[in-house]
Amino acid sequence: MNNDVFTFLVGGKAGEGVKKAGSVASHIFSSMGRHVFQMDDYMSLIRGGHNFSVISTAHRWISSHYMKANLVVNFDKRSCETHVNDIAENGIMIFNSDEQELENGIGIPLTSEAEKYPMKNLMFGVGAVAILAATIGFEKEEMNQIIKDEYPRGIENNIEFASTIYDIVYPDCGNKFFLEKGDRERPIITGNEAISLGAIAGGLDVYYGYPMTPASTILHTLAREAENFGLAVVHAESEIAVINMAIGSAFTGARAMVGTSGGGFALMTEGLSLAGITEAPVLIILSQRPGPATGVPTYTEQADLAFALSAGHGDFLRIVASPTTVREAYYLTAEMLDLVWKFQTPGILLTEKHLSESSMTVEIDLEKSKWAEPKMYKDGNYKRYQDKDDGISPMLFPPSKKIIKWNSYEHDELGITTEDAKKISFMHDKRNKKLETLIDYLKEQQIVKIIRGENNSNIFTYGSTYMSVLEALRCGSLNPTTVAPIYLNPLPIWELKEFKNQDNIVIEQSSTGQFTKLLKEKAGLNVRNTIKKYDGRPFDPLELSMKIKEVLE
């Protein structure tokens, strides 16, 4: 076990404030100047079942939760059963003694204490915070301040309850863990918040969505911020409406974005193709969950990659990129918004539940974010699809006395429908030119993350799995080279060439190894082994480090 990391796990029923307790814990750690990673595991239900949050914190940048926790707080029996093996060496488990008796662990009469208060169902979370506060040596005043800030409803009761719990735990494990303070407090955000903010920073004007886990919280975040930033945020009647509304908005010059998961994305593919031929700039956030079909809505997977890469009928350019960290999700969203406008073609930001809904401390240099600007029409005759060496026709938006026609049929430069053989291949060629322009552009950007190591093997990964891999390598003290392409289409093969015949290992979350195939097939990479996980759960760094070790040996 990594002893620079402290992990807190809190588990209970949906509706008992598990996630909230988790994020209060995260804020406690971040307020201590520490780095934090929080993963929320929840079922597709509203009340009951079993949810838990795991927060790992360290004095240095940390990019994954650890499943072995130093402090486990379980609200109910089911939680105890689930997490019986999740206790780190020297860790402690605190359980609800009103629900059961246990040998290993410290029982607390959570239910009976909570029942003394009118909002009894909302007390458990407060209790978990109190337990954490006691074990990491917070004074009661400090704790009370946090409770006040974070649980503003029924403050007095909350403080009283917290105090009771604090007093119960203190004798057994008060001050048990010492957490060193860090340099400064950092904001904690989820991947979806990073995406939302990145989009706003990049110039977002309108967002369309239809709720779908794990993308829904982009809709929610943006809806909340709509007034503040002057955006239109619309929950439409279906994903088909969503993508076509976005294209309508793009026609007026509005920077439009949409977000969904696999099923909704499938419904958008005709619209994606429409964006291809109309050369409509539109950015789609595709946050993956295990498929096929409805699959496992609240868990994580990376099995929509192949679909995303060639979604939509016909030949056209789809830009596909996947952020490796929450911080990068911010920059990349702004960058993708810029790219789709620069290249007038649809883009897909591919991510996963694990990035979308996990939260972590981030440091973001806002000024570094891109601002989406298209090439604009200046003067002369206006032709919407004017042929240019780089394939990119200057844009113009209504109202204008010039005629601007976007056309779903094959068309001439003016945007008028054509069935003429020459014009058909001409316009294919015109659009196809954009790929080369894009590659030239991307060659100037840093679009593959490479960390040079000492081993003779390289680890390839992408998306949020990158975070798991980095943490696994650190906790396993392993030092291979790690390579994570951010752009998946076009795949930066020019950057991957050097690894071609080396000893390459891939780590990904797809049962058929979609990323492995991509690397082998598109980049011609020799891949010796793929470490896969496809049970809906993200990798645990400890387990993963052992697997990597095995493979590297």
Partner 1 sequence: MEDLKTGAEITWCPGCGNFGIFTAIRNAIPILEEKGIKRENVVITAGIGCHAKIFDYLNLSGIYGLHGRNCSNSEGIKIANPDLKVINFSGDANGLAEGLTHTMFAAKRNQDITFILHNNSVYALTTGQFSPLAEKGWKGPSTPRGSYEEPFNPMSLMIEAGATFVARSFAGDIKHLTDIMVQGVEHEGFSFIEVLQPAVPYHKWAEYRERVEYLEKEPETYFEAIKAAKEKHKFTIGVFYRTTRPVYHKELYDDHNPVTQKISREIRLDKIRKFLSDK
Ligand X SMILES: Cc1ncc(C[n+]2csc(CCOP(=O)(O)OP(=O)(O)O)c2C)c(N)n1
Interface positions with ligand X (CB under 6 A): 210-212, 239, 263-264, 267, 294
Binders of a copy of itself among residues 427 to 466 (CB under 8 A) are 428-429, 432
Q: Could you tell me how many residues of this chain bind a copy of itself (CB under 8 A)?
A: 63
Phi, psi (rounded to 5 degrees) for 540: -95, 130
Tokens 């976005």 found at? 246
Pick from ligand SF4, ligand X, a copy of itself, none: which does 278 bind, CB < 5 to 8 A by kind?
a copy of itself
Cα angle 171, 173, 178; round to 5: 130
Pick from partner 1, ligand SF4, a copy of itself, none: which does 422 bind, CB < 5 to 8 A by kind?
a copy of itself
x/- map, 273-312, partner 1, by CB under 8 A: -x---x--------------xx------------------
Q: Residue 160: enclosing H or E segment and its boundaries?
A: helix 155-173
Tokens 């301040």 found at? 145
* Alpha carbon distance 254, 397 (integer Å): 9
Binders of a copy of itself among residues 279 to 318 (CB under 8 A) are 288, 290-299, 301, 303-304, 306-307, 309-316
* Alpha carbon distance 94, 133 (integer Å): 13
- Residue 359, strand partner residues: 38, 190
Nearer to partner 1, 123 or 234 (CB): 234
Q: How far is the CB of 411 from ligand X (least distance, A)?
A: 15
Q: Residue 211: enclosing H or E segment and its boundaries?
A: none
Pick from partner 1, ligand X, a copy of itself, none: which does 229 bind, CB < 5 to 8 A by kind?
partner 1
The residue count of the chain comes to: 553
Strand ordering across the sheet containing 319-321: 232-235, 206-209, 256-260, 282-288, 346-352, 319-321, 487-489
Q: Does 44 bind ligand SF4 (CB under 6 A)?
A: no
Pick from a copy of itself, ligand X, ligand SF4, none: which does 81 bind, CB < 5 to 8 A by kind?
none
Binding test (CB under 8 A) with partner 1, winner from 271, 290, 312, 476: 271
Q: How many other C-beta atoms lie within 10 A of the C-beta of residue 373?
A: 12
Binding test (CB under 6 A) with ligand SF4, winner from 26, 38, 39, 47: 47
Q: Does 155 bind partner 1 (CB under 8 A)?
A: no
Cβ–Cβ under 8 Å, residues 353 and 214: yes
Q: Does 77 bind partner 1 (CB under 8 A)?
A: no
Q: How far is the CB of 527 from partner 1 (least distance, A)?
A: 34
Residues with Cβ within 8 Å of 250's Cβ and at least 6 positions away in sequence, in order, are 256, 275, 280, 281, 282
* Alpha carbon distance 170, 493 (integer Å): 57
Name the token pair of 8: 């807190």
* Alpha carbon distance 35, 44 (integer Å): 29
Binders of a copy of itself among residues 230 to 289 (CB under 8 A) are 240, 261-263, 265-267, 269-270, 272-274, 276-278, 288
Half-sphere exposure of 270 (CA within 13 A, CB side): 7
Pick from ligand X, ligand SF4, a copy of itself, none: which does 211 bind, CB < 5 to 8 A by kind?
ligand X
Binding stretches for ligand SF4 (CB under 6 A): 46-47
Binding stretches for a copy of itself (CB under 8 A): 43-44, 240, 261-263, 265-267, 269-270, 272-274, 276-278, 288, 290-299, 301, 303-304, 306-307, 309-316, 408-410, 418-419, 421-422, 424-425, 428-429, 432, 510-512, 514, 521-522, 534-537
